[in-house]
Every structure is written in structure tokens, then in C-alpha cells.
Structure 1
């Protein structure tokens, strides 16, 4: 075999990375109904006044902030802002908690401060074993906050602790890349559910009689022009 032939038959690191990513994305298709259901549920919760709390370390922290930016700002469609907090992003709070209570309490103390029944904690961990994320999940359970996890291989402590988990069996870089896709799929489903809710609200208004529409929200009459 010539040197050229041997070179052509060897898979490059980039080829291997893309092949693993393609396999992980193909496997993600089985979790698409879960992510779409999460999006619909999250939209209903946030439109009803609940909030999303999001926690992760390192690259997962960046993805947590990406998710909250899409919810508070927008993903594709124009809509009302939705309440979401990336728990690593308030630096004075983070440094105070780590200094006074230790790193394991970094997210958990904030969950106890902000979390209310009906809220959602989205917990990201490529290993599923990050101590501070696990503590946050336990605090969420105490606060009656739902826990949805994006993690690595199935069977991790986080996957077992969460109400529901989407697990990605791959190495860390690929897990993070697939988690980013999960975040966008979740946001897509949120936007769709918000649009459906808005359309249903407009339909209810149009179905009301002119006399009904002539009454303000506080019950007082208003003129029809």
C-alpha cells in the first residue's frame, strides 16, 4: 500500500468527532417527544407566573445562560418575556455562597431562595455527578420544584434524582454539543406552545358577543366605537 493509500484510510480526529456527534444526534430522536413535552409544560408554567431556574458548571453554565437568554429575550418568534434565572451568573451571590457555605451549596441555596412550587429547575451536567448540581436538585425536591436534567450516560445520580432526564451516551464534548441542540429544541417547543396559547386567547375574545366585549376586565362597562 502506498503512503497515499494509508493516509486516505485513516480517520482524522475531526471525522471521528463528527461521526460520534451524528450518532448521538440520531439517538436523540427518541427523546424528541420528551423535549417537546417539556417545552409545552414549561410554557404553561412560565405563562402562569412560575420561573425556570437553570444550573450547570463550566460549559454547562454557558448553556444554562444561553437557555435563560432565549426565554427572557426570545428564540425565534416575538413573544412576552418569560422568567428564567441562570444560577451561576450573579457573581456577588455566587462568591458569597461559595465563601460562606462551600461550593456544594452554590446552586442549592439559590434554589431555596428563588424556588417556589410549580417552578422548574433545569440541571445540566455532562457527568451527572457534579456535587453542586446534585445538591441543587435535592433542594428543588424540598421546594416542590420540578427537576429536569440534561446529562451524560443513563444511570447517573442526577438522572436518578431528576423527575425526568434526557441522557446522552458520548464523550464530554459531544454531550455538550447535543445538550445545546436539546436547549434549542426546548425553546422551539416553548415558542410553539406560547403561540398556541396566544391564538387560543384571541379565539376566546373573538367568540365573545359585542356586549361581553364592552365590559372591562374589572367589570366596568366601556364604549364600543
Structure 2
């Protein structure tokens, strides 16, 4: 009798291992599914710096991403928009910054990380982060008269090194736009109403290695266009909240 029970237990263990291996194999097939995806986003921006009383402006974003599997993806992102804000005490100024930004971001789908079903999760939480380059032109105006007070670029403006706190400008004078490095971080919440479509919302936060994104550098009224006018806190930041629509190419494996 004891021998029969031992054989039965061994048989159950072996069956469990076979079933477990089959489930892992199925999970592996699902996880290794790769595909391309394109998306569009539109929403509002917000600025964090000296002139940080909010004047939300618009932004439009286009993206192309390659998904190595249902968990991990690499996205090429291009955004065009405006930043705005104001502060009356001391500055009595408001600013408008026109920018475009390109970035390369890694994405991690948290829901798919623990999804054991054969079909993709209909609701997704995606975390992302990477590196980017922002191209911008900032101008600050007097709130009462709308007279131009400060600006980020002029006939004497030159380039500063990317991701540097400060440094001697280099290259030819007269640049129309400033190029600065960006570290973008974000989160996407979306759901799949149809197999190839996703609708959702995305929040992106960007650390910009400059202190003149609002045409203002520290609590000073000088033009922030050369190294001598930079403060020692080049940490302007911005964010945007957008609605997103994405389309997946190729058929889904089941």
C-alpha cells in the first residue's frame, strides 16, 4: 500500500512538472511575440521653474515603437508644442517657449509582466524613461505692457555643451534655437477596445539641463543667453498630460 502511495505521489509530481513546463513554454511563446506600433498624442504642458505660475499650452506628439515582446519596447518619440507661465512678484513677467523634442525611450508594460493569459491584457500600465534632445526658443514679456524683456537667443548666442551645468559657449554666433539634453520619464495608462487599437492617457515629465527654458535664469533680470548669465541651478523641468491613440501592426498570436 505504501509503495502504491509513493508511486502515486511521484506520478502527481511528474504530471505537475510537465504541466508547469507546458505553461512556461506557452508563456515564453507569448512573451517573445514582437511587433511594431505607431501612436499619436495631444494635450497640455506644464512648466516648473522661476516663472512657474501656470499658463498651460498645447503639445502634439508622434511615436514609433518596436515591441520585443509584450513587456518590453523601444520607442522613438517626437513632440512639438509650447510652454508658458508667469510670476508677478519681482519679475512681473510671463513667458512663451516654442519647442520641439526628439527622444528614445525604453518601455516596460507592468500588466503584461504578470499576465499569464494567452491573450494580451486589455488594460495596460506602461512605465518609460530615456534620453532626448530639446530644441527651443524662449521669450519673456512684461505682464502690463507686453514689451519683450528677456530672451534665450539673439545674434550673440552660442551653443553650450549638452548635459553640462555651465560652460563656455562654443561655435558660431547667432543661433536661433537652443539645444539642450532632456531626461524624460513617464507613465501610460491605456486599454484595448479593439485588437489593434489602444486608447489612453500619458503623463511625461522632463528634466532639462538648462536654466533658461523660461527665458529667466535665477532671480535675476538679465538675458540668460551666455554662460556668464547662467545661474548655478540649471534644472528647469516641464511635464505634459496627453490623450493617446496607438495602432499595432501585425496579427496577435493566440
TM-score (normalizing by structure 2): 0.22
Q: More helix per residue: 1 or 2?
A: 1
> Which protein shows a greater Rg?
2
TM-score (normalizing by structure 1): 0.24
Q: More strand per residue: 1 or 2?
A: 2
